[in-house]
Amino acid sequence: LHLTFPRYEAQFIKLIIKEVVRRLDARQLDVPKYIVGAESELVLKISRWLQNESSEVEVGIIHGPGGVGKTTIAKVVYNGNYGRFESSSFLANVRAACMKDIEFIHLQKQLIRNVTRDRKIKIDSISDGRQKIKKVIGTKKILVVLDDVDEVEFGKMFDCPDWFFPGSKILITSQNRNFLINDKSIARFEGCLLDVEESANLFAYHAFRQTHPPQDYIDISMQFIKYCGGLPLALEVVASSLRSISLEKWELQYAKLSDYLDENVLNVLLLSYDSLRDSAVKDIFLHIAFFMVGKKKEYALKILDGCGLHGEIGLEILIGKCLVSVDEGNDTFVMHQLIQHMGYEVVRQKPPIELGCRSRILGQKNAYEVLRKKTGSSTIKGLHLHIPNPHDDDISPEEIYIAHSAKRMRTTYIPTHSSRQASLHFKPIKTEAFTKMSNLDLLLLDNVQLHGGFEDFPKGIKWLLWLGCPLKEIPADFEFDELVVLDMQKSCLVHAWNGLKYVGALKVLNLSHSHQLRCTPDLSSAHMLEHLSCKDCITLVEVHESIGKLENLTYLNMEGCVKLVTWPESMGTFKKLSSFSAKGCITLRNLPTNLLAFFSMV
């Protein structure tokens, strides 16, 4: 063999030498011993970009939520590709270094040393460092990786990519997927969550130092794996914390994590939230985290705009920060369950920590306690109390919770551990429990009975969702002046309300599945109404003539109103109507021609 194939032996020796040199090279970055996805398509895609031999200065960005593994991926591709450049530098934790001048100057020195190999670098100030960096990086083709940056940090380090020598590459990791540098074209690479098999492998390695959980641990391990939702950081931290705990205590640890997010994971996820500079955007994030995951984007934006938060702009920022996603299939808000849990922790840990002083109240036990003890305060912006109805089937209308999952983000759960929850006996809530909640914007009630008058009820509610409302009629002293969305599905309403009621801000009215409703309310003042649904109102016999004046109506659903016979004679043209259905209205006789064009009635 030695005499017959000398060429192959020589090539083999070269490979060995190359590997030895690589391992001894000080430029090699330390990476975890066990990496799931080191040979992934994402790593190969970034490597191909680094090897494209372009003569242009090119910028690439690895974006994704905190803990998704952006830094590890950047290290892997750096280790595999820096030898293709004349010089290279990997700058870690740039955003943190930017907060202190002395640390940022240290980062500037590191870049210059890496490129020039000159250890005797002196920098007097940040501006002095910028000038020296400009001279150095313009002399040779280099690879620079900036870990954890946004536009502000990049601009502090370099004015523009034109400082670099042709053919150089700048690779960035950031939680901002919308990262921009003047008019520079940027190659974008998305850090994805691990699938179940990859998650199980990573979890098993850190918990058991093997590729799969032992047989006795499979069921409980899958609970933790599901909890982590494919986030590599969470899988590593949670699995490592379990190594010294006996199997009997794993269930207790799972219960704890369901209530309280691991501090190490929380601190990483908080970086994205803390980077939000606008308080209105933070409010949007918390509203979505607490009350809008699974909601239709259009439905939620109406509410957010009604709260004065400029939802479209804020949502774009949150999507850019990888905190929220919109499922393209059904246009609903999606959020990774641990990011949502982080939102809960933001509210829970903000002083004062008393339950009634939190900005948002979620969860059966917490919401019921605040209302029963009447401890609510003016700091509460949103509250959701769900009381289960054992005789009721789940409903799934257009804007109610939608259960689904996505590779990029996942929908979630309310973090409570059911096995430790005592069965609650629910009594009717007195309306005076809401008296001090003067800033309440969002009120979500499921199968809740309210006793008392509404004269002192919060006047600024923008979204009232009261599923299974037991009232026959909304009282006259219940003011709707600022209400944007009124969702009263499965209610016991007969007339909704009597006479003219001011609902000038109302955009969505949903009375679907209210089987005792006989007449739609007077909507003469609802000039902004866009969405009206009376689906499955099986005793509805009359549609109020004011419906003909709804010039902004775009959606009208009267499906299943089997007793509806006539339509108001005085009808508008519904110039903006884009969706209408009267399927199942088998007794309806005088439907206007302009509505017949939409759907068949049967």
pLDDT of residue 451: 94
Q: Are 329 and 294 in contact (CB under 8 A)?
A: no
Is residue 457 within 8 A of residue 482, CB to CB? The reply is no
| Mean pLDDT along residues 121-149 | 94
Residue 500's contacts (CB-CB under 8 Å, 6 or more residues apart) are 522, 524, 525
DSSP string, 288-355: IIIIITTSBHHHHHHHHHHTTS-HHHHHHHHHHTTS-EEETTTTEEE--HHHHHHHHHHHHHSSS--G
Pairing label, strands 58-63, 87-91:
unpaired
- What is the rounded CA–CA span in Å between residue 234 and residue 341? 12
The answer on pLDDT for 463 being more than 70 is: yes
| Enclosing H/E stretch for 45 | helix 41-50
Whole-number Å distance between alpha carbons of 298 and 262: 34
The pLDDT value given to residue 567: 85
Lowest mean pLDDT among 261-265, 266-270, 590-594: 590-594
> Scanning the structure block, which residue is given the tokens 């900036």?
146
The answer to whether the beta carbons of residues 251 and 224 sit under 8 Å apart is no
In the predicted structure, residue 299 carries a pLDDT above the cut 80:
yes
Hey, what amino acid is at 291? F
Please enumerate in sequence order all residues whose Cβ is within 8 A of that of 557, keeping only pairs 6 or more positions apart, or say none. 512, 532, 533, 534, 535, 579, 580, 581
Residue 261 reports pLDDT greater than 90: yes
- What does the pLDDT read at residue 2? 42
Predicted local confidence at residue 198, as pLDDT: 92
Model confidence band, residue 161 (pLDDT cutoffs 50, 70, 90):
confident
Report helix, strand or coil for 87: strand
- Which is nearest to 284 in space by CA: 410, 414, 441, 397? 441
Q: What share of the chain in percent tops pLDDT 70?
A: 87
- Residue 410 banded pLDDT, cuts 50, 70, 90: very low
- Secondary structure (DSSP) of 561-591: -TT-----SS----TT--EEE-TT-TT----
> pLDDT tens digits, residue range 224-237?
999 999 999 999 99
60 DSSP β-pair partners:
171, 187
pLDDT surpasses 50 at 75: yes
Q: What's the DSSP call for residue 499? A: S
CA dihedral defined by 485, 490, 492, 494, rounded to 10 degrees? 70
- Residue 319 CA to its chain's centroid (Å): 8
Q: Where does 117-246 have alpha helices with state H? A: 126-137, 151-157, 196-208, 218-228, 232-242
User: 411-445 pLDDT, tens per residue?
Assistant: 444 444 444 455 567 889 999 999 999 999 999 99
pLDDT in tens, 366-383: 999 999 999 999 999 999
pLDDT over 70 (residue 70): yes
Contact 262, 345 (CB under 8 A): no
CA distance to 8, 9, 11, 16, per residue, from 4 (Å): 9, 10, 14, 20
List Cα–Cα distances, 509 to 167, 332, 505, 512, in angstroms.
Answer: 59, 19, 11, 9
Angle between helices 70-81 and 41-50 (to 10 degrees): 50
If residue 43 lies in a helix (H) or strand (E), which one and from where to where?
helix 41-50
**pLDDT over 90, % of the chain:** 71
pLDDT at residue 23 is higher than 80: no
Q: Which two tokens stand for residue 205?
A: 């390695």
Q: Rounded to two decimals, what is the model's pTM?
A: 0.86
pLDDT of the residue at 543: 92
Residue 601, pLDDT above cutoff 80: no
CA-based end-to-end distance of the chain: 83
Cβ neighbours of residue 38 under 8 Å, at least 6 residues apart? 76
- Would the pLDDT of 16 be above 80? no
How much is the pLDDT for 349? 92
Check residues 294 and 600 and name the one with the higher pLDDT. Answer: 294
**CA distance to 1, 586, 598, per residue, from 564 (Å):** 92, 8, 18
- Residue 307: CB partners within 8 Å, gap ≥ 6? 283, 287, 441, 442, 462
Looking at residue 522, what DSSP letter applies? B
* Best CA proximity match to 333, nearest among 303, 292, 302: 292
Q: What is the Cα–Cα distance from 327 to 247, expressed in whole angstroms?
A: 38
Measure CA 377 to chain center.
27
Task: Kindly write down the DSSP assignment for every residue of 424-466, as one continuous string.
Answer: P---PEEGGGGTT-TT--EEEEES--EES--TTS-S--SEEEE
> How much is the pLDDT for 268?
93
CB 76 within 8 A of CB 31: yes
Which residues sit opposite 142 in a β-bridge?
A: 87
Each residue's pLDDT tens digit, 569-583: 766 667 888 999 989
DSSP-based three-state secondary structure for 36: coil
Residue 293's Cβ-count burial label (10 Å; 0-12, 13-18, 19+) is buried
pLDDT value at position 238?
A: 95
How many Cα atoms within 13 Å fall on the side-chain side of residue 503? 27
Q: What is the pLDDT of residue 40?
A: 84
Average model confidence (pLDDT) across the chain: 88
Angle between helices 279-287 and 311-320 (to 10 degrees): 80
Q: Which residue has the tokens 């960096």?
A: 133
**Residue bearing the bigger pLDDT, 591 or 4:** 591
Residue 407 has pLDDT above 50, yes or no: no
Q: Which residues pair with 90 in a beta bridge?
A: 145
Res. 587: pLDDT tops 70: yes
- Mean pLDDT of the 478-499 span: 94
Residue 589 CA to chain centroid, in angstroms? 46
pLDDT, position 74: 96
pLDDT band at 1 (very low <50, low <70, confident <90, very high): very low
Residue 420 pLDDT: 47
Residues 312-352: pLDDT tens digits?
Answer: 999 999 999 999 999 988 999 999 999 999 999 999 999 88
Q: Which of 60, 47, 87, 88 is nearest to 161 (CA)?
A: 60
* DSSP annotation of 161: G
Tell me, what's the pLDDT at 492?
A: 96
Across the range 122-142, mean pLDDT stands at 94
452: left (phi over 0), alpha (psi -120 to 50) or beta: left
